[in-house]
Structure 1
Amino acid sequence: MTAIESTDNSLLRRGRRLAPFFHAATSATFFAASSAPTPLYRIYQQVFAFSPVLITVIFAVYAFALLISLLIVGSISDHLGRRPVIFASLILNMVAMALFLTADGPNWLIAARIVQGFATGAAAASIGAALVDLDPARGSVTNSIAPLIGMAIGAFGTSALVQYAPAPTLLVYAIVLALLVIQAVLIWITPETTRRRPGLIASLRPEVAIPPQARRTLLALTPINVAVWALGGFYLSLVPSLVSATTGSTLPLVGGSVVGTLTISGAASVFSLRKRPAATALAFGISTMTLGLLAVVAGVHLAEVPLLIAGTMIAGTGFGANFLGAVRSIMPLAKADERAGLLSAFYIQSYLAFSLPAILAGFLSKAVGFTATTDIYAASILVLVVSGVLALRTGREKVTVSACT
């Protein structure tokens, strides 16, 4: 064996060992980049003089672009390989960072978010598949935790840079751009985890198929799933402005901490409940999200940041538990060749709930103010949760009756 071959084999072995950590870190980077603009929205609003409605539009176009990306290119890595698609996603996200760096108005921000959403959707599908290829059990848990940790890092990190570093609307994107460049180089020392197969053109046709045996469960879970993602969309679009308007605190780190608390507590909840049954996760998630929401509303009315953060932590725990419980409830119902279609349907529902209610909240905040908007939004989420509980109970009763007859 030559010295060059020995070096190549050594790099290959090292790449195989580091691959799960690399993919987890890359996933976290994409989602950190996605939440990085959140603490900057107030600055953009002041600099470019636009309304809260436009903030939610800038936020929502990211979710729509991500959804379209999942529908069109979500399975493309099954045909081209994981590494080429992840590499292309990294390049596309670099373009988004360049657009943010050169933005001189809201149109540029919208363009950047569209590109970023499409890149993140392609990356999430490919990286998620690579993690499951490497280790199905651990990969599934990592796929749930890494995006939430990434969003927390993006919110906390950007807030800290805004508060303590110069050029906040430039520095964060420069840092993310540097990380993406490094990951675009390192991706080629990780192993390819799947073989190329034909059918690329056919895979680009958007198709959503819900297996008949999963329809009742998905329908029963829909109110809770919509409530979960509507809560996430509200936090990632309007909460920094809400915190400033209701508490009088203008420190960026305060608003960013509230947003980051939701996602980091959600990640902790997923990790803690990873071995629990779906029903246990849902029962825990419903109660904690309800309690947390009530505490958040109280924190807004009393203008108390500690209470707001505590309520967010409790609600975030419910956010993660409900997400985990919903996925674990529906995915075992699908056969191997039905999972992609079912997961696509679930993501369509999730990202529509992530974006559309947030846009409505933007209009509401302009019309009635942030405090009243919070009350209406929280009440709507609680109604959805109660509806979901009733739907799940009715579904269980039907199953029991049919089993007895």
Structure 2
Amino acid sequence: MTSASTGRGVWPLAGIVFASIAVAAAAGAGTPLLALYRSRWDLPLWELTAAFAVYAATLLLTLLTAGSLSDHVGRRPVLVGALALMIVASALFLVDGGIGWVLGARALQGIATGAATSTFTATIVELSSTRRRALMTVVTSAAPVGGLALGALLTGISVDLLGDSTRVVFAVLIASFVIGIIAVSAARETSARVPGALRSLRPRLVVPRPARSAFLSVAPLIGAGWMFSGLFLGLGPTFDRAILGVDGGAANGVIVALQPAAAAICGIPFARVPAKRSAWVGALLTALGVAVAVAGIFTTDILVVAFGAVIGGAGQGAGFGASLRLLGAQADNTDRGALFSSAYLIAYTGYGLPVLLAGWAAAAIDLRLVVLSYGAVTAGLAVWALAGLSRGQGRVRTQPARTP
């Protein structure tokens, strides 16, 4: 019996889930604020894109170097350190002294998120009882996108309602990170200390041999889903105003948050669906949602864009949760952190790099053409995943591996 199945273990586990949502919410909060900063400081588009890109770049670098660190030093030290770093990043946002401070805060957010994301997933899965493990794996897949949606939505609303929204938002986030540190400290350690911590910091993609077939099968699905999130969270503030004519923080926050919110909410019911079937449905819905959303942007029909966001968001929720379930069944406590880190490396590469390229392209060509190209690549990855899953690629076990 794990500690999570007892009353003593439930509250730390709930606090850790809450903290994982708060970390993602901090990143999502930056999206509406970047649009606000652009208006306040008269920033060029490339500086706005740079503020998004520096977060993605530091996050990816951290996943490459520190993604498996918790497999060696334990889950709790990595999570406490990451949450402390998020407090420092939030304090930099409170300074609000110009784009340089924002870039610094976003860089620290990326480092902290890269260190924490896969470790949160491994910790929550390992603290969960065997009976609840499939559900909690899906919850961990919903937490990052749900947090992004929550941060973008609440910040967008606060921009309209409050005179000093930045201070309110990040003061609340700091309090949330303190709660997270308390919860992590109260939880039991699930990963024993083993040698090799310094060697684990070499940049690399770690996929244990038993998981390679499953990883190749779900990688394009993970990439497609997170690229679709990037379309809204990275490019959304730009095409909302330039193409759809949406003005105001609350309206912008709603549109930006709709896709990740759909991913978080719709992904949970798929925990009861067999993982391979859920992945197939997720790939189909993602491809369909991309097509509908891009059509809505081209026709400047905001309702069609919203409909596509919900369809594709549901696809991402189903597909990403299923992907983590398929991968988690291939690992144990000695390499689960590294494997989930590799999955999130694919996810955040799809989330960040295409947005950076699209931001640069938008300075030279029509934004509609950029969106069309972005959508074509995203849909292509989803169709690739759909074809592979339909062929039965990656014959993998679906029951969790034994844990020490």
**TM category, shorter:** 0.7 to 0.9
Shift of the alpha carbon at 1:168?
2.4
Aligned twin of 1:193? 189
Q: Displacement, 1:206?
A: 4.0
The equivalent of 2:120 in structure 1 is 127
Structure 1 equivalent of residue 59 of structure 2: 66
1:361 counterpart (333, 358, 363): 358
Match of 1:51 in 2: 44
Structure 1 position 78, deviation (Å):
4.4
Cα distance in 2 between the residues matched to 1:130 and 1:329: 17
Distance in 2 of aligned mates of 1:129 and 1:347: 12
* 1:59 Cα deviation from its structure 2 partner: 1.4
Secondary structure of the 1:249 match is coil
CA distance, structure 2, for counterparts of residue 50 and residue 142 of structure 1: 37
Question: 1:183, 1:224 → 2: CA distance?
Answer: 30
1:342 and 1:185 map into 2 onto residues whose CA distance is 27
SS state at 1:247 partner? coil
Question: What per-residue deviation string (whole Å, max 9, x for no partner) do you get for residues 377-398 of structure 1?
Answer: 11222233333334445564x9
Q: Tell me the residue number matched to 1:22.
A: 15
Report what 1:321 is aligned to: 318
Match of 2:260, SS state, is helix
Unaligned ranges ≥5, structure 2 = 1-5, 396-404
- Residue 266 of structure 1, CA deviation: 0.7
Alignment of 1:147-158 (within 5 A): 147-158=144-155
Which region of structure 1 is more displaced relative to structure 2, 24-33 or 49-58? Answer: 49-58
Superposed CA RMSD: 2.7
Distance verdict in 2 for CA 1:227–1:51, change over 3 Å: farther
Task: Tell me by how many angstroms 1:25 deviates.
Answer: 0.7
Q: What letter matches 1:252 in structure 2?
A: G
Q: Which amino acid aligns with 2:297?
A: V
Letter of the structure 2 residue corresponding to residue 254 of structure 1: A
One-letter amino acid matched to 2:50: V
Displacement of 1:148 in angstroms is 2.3
Q: Of the candidates 78, 101, 104, which is equivalent to residue 97 of structure 2?
A: 104
What SS is found at the alignment partner of 2:348?
helix
1:227 aligned partner, one-letter code: A
The residue type paired with residue 197 of structure 1 is R
* 1:29-70 alpha-carbon deviations (Å, 9 max, x no partner): 111111101011211112233333332322122222223333
Residue 384 in structure 1 maps to residue 381 in structure 2 = yes
User: Would the aligned equivalents of 2:16 and 2:180 in 1 still touch at CA under 8 Å?
Assistant: no
Per-residue Cα deviation, 1:344-383 (whole angstroms, up to 9, x for no partner): 3333222222211111110222222332222221122223
Q: Which residue of 1 aligns with 2:226?
A: 229
Contact 1:291 1:314 (C-alpha < 8 Å) held by counterparts: yes
How far off its partner does 1:340 sit?
A: 4.4
1:64–1:351 CA contact under 8 A, matched in 2: no
> Residue type matched to 1:171 in 2?
V
User: In 1, Cα distance between the equivalents of 2:77 and 2:263?
Assistant: 31
**TM-score normalised per structure 1:** 0.85
CA separation in 1, counterparts of 2:20 and 2:198?
26
Match of 1:291 among 288, 294, 303: 288
Normalized per residue, the structure richer in helix is 1
1:31 has 2:24 as partner:
yes
Aligned partners of 2:190, 2:218: CA distance in 1, in Å?
33
Q: Decide which moves more: 75-84 or 40-49.
A: 75-84
Question: Letter of the aligned partner of 1:277 in structure 2?
Answer: P
Give the 5 Å matches for 1:202-351: 202-212=199-209, 214-333=211-330, 339-351=336-348
Call closer, same or farther: CA 1:179–1:392 in 2, change over 3 Å.
closer
- How far apart in 2 are the matches of 1:74 and 1:226? 18
Aligned counterparts of 2:75 and 2:329: Cα–Cα separation in 1: 25
Q: CA deviation at 1:325?
A: 3.1
SS at match of 1:36: helix
After TM superposition, what 4+ stretches of structure 1 lie above 6 angstroms from structure 2? none
Describe the shift of the 1:354–1:51 C-alpha distance in structure 2 as closer, same or farther (beyond 3 A).
same
Deviation string, structure 1 residues 96-150 (Cα, Å, up to 9, x no partner): 0111122333222221111111112222233333322321504323311222221
Partner of 1:9: none
Specify whether residues 254 and 340 from structure 1 end up closer, same or farther in structure 2 by C-alpha distance, changes over 3 A only: same
Number of aligned positions between the proteins: 385
Cα offsets for 1:296-326 (capped at 9, x unmatched): 1232233232222222111100111221233
Q: Distance in 2 between matches of 1:333 and 1:21?
A: 25
State the one-letter code of the partner of 2:128. D
User: Separation in 2 of the partners of 1:292 and 1:152?
Assistant: 17
Question: Which structure: larger Rg?
Answer: 1
- Letter of the structure 1 residue corresponding to residue 190 of structure 2: T
Q: Which moved more, 1:225-234 or 1:342-351?
A: 342-351
Once residues 131 and 226 of structure 1 are traced to their aligned partners in structure 2, the CA distance between those partners, rounded to angstroms, is: 23
Distance 2:367 2:97 in 1: 27
- Relative to structure 1, the CA distance from residue 364 to residue 182 in structure 2 (aligned partners, 3 Å threshold; closer, same or farther) is same
Distance 1:75 1:346, change over 3 A: closer
Between 324-333 and 153-162, the greater mean CA deviation after superposition = 324-333
Q: Which moved more, 1:87-96 or 1:178-187?
A: 178-187
Q: Which runs of 5+ in 1 are unaligned?
A: 1-12, 400-405
Kept in 1: contact 2:19–2:179 (CA 8 A):
no
Q: CA offset at residue 175 of structure 1?
A: 2.1
Q: Partner letter of residue 111 of structure 1?
A: G
**Following the alignment from structure 1 to structure 2, what is the Cα–Cα distance between the partners of residues 330 and 74?**
16
- What's the secondary structure of 2:235's corresponding residue? helix
Q: Aligned-pair distance for 1:217?
A: 4.6
**Alpha-carbon distance change, 212 to 201 in structure 1, aligned in 2, over 3 angstroms:** closer
